[in-house]
Amino acid sequence: MISRICLEEAIKYARQRTAFGKTLTGFQVTRHKIAEMATRVEASSEFTYRVAAMVNAGEYKVAEVSMAKNFASQVANRVTFDATQIFGGYGFVRGHLVERLYRDNRIYSIGGGTHEIMNEVISKMIL
């Protein structure tokens, strides 16, 4: 969710912010950054929902749950970073949603099992 909100905020901002006589979406580098953000968000959502459906159906999917958590938190690291970049200076200024989400996002690789411990769980299940 944090990734999707950052993507939506970045799209809104890139459409309205002008620099050097163009909106940010007028620059290919921004369009491509947003395309990659959107791809990551979709892949992460699909994987998470797929694993959730399996767990909901009563399957024991500890490795897949850990993979989904790690993948989603890594996607969130990247997408919050890219959204902050698109916001430029505002991405660093308190009071802007993306700046808050960038900071808050750090907990997802730490709480509920750190990234490293999730990898331990995955490796134990698959090796």
Residues that bind ligand FAD (CB under 6 A): 107, 110-112, 114, 116-117, 120
Residue nearer to ligand FAD on the CB measure, 59 or 116: 116
CB of residue 66 vs ligand FAD: minimum separation in angstroms?
Answer: 13
Residue nearer to ligand FAD on the CB measure, 1 or 107: 107
| SS3 assignment for 60-98 | CCHHHHHHHHHHHHHHHHHHHHHHHHHCHHHHHCCCCHH
Residue nearer to ligand FAD on the CB measure, 93 or 110: 110
Of the candidates 67, 60, 11, 10, the residue with the CA atom closest to the CA atom of residue 44: 67
Helix (H, G, I), strand (E, B) or coil at 19: strand
CB of residue 30 vs ligand FAD: minimum separation in angstroms?
Answer: 33
Read off the tokens for 19: 């620099």
CB of residue 60 vs ligand FAD: minimum separation in angstroms?
Answer: 21
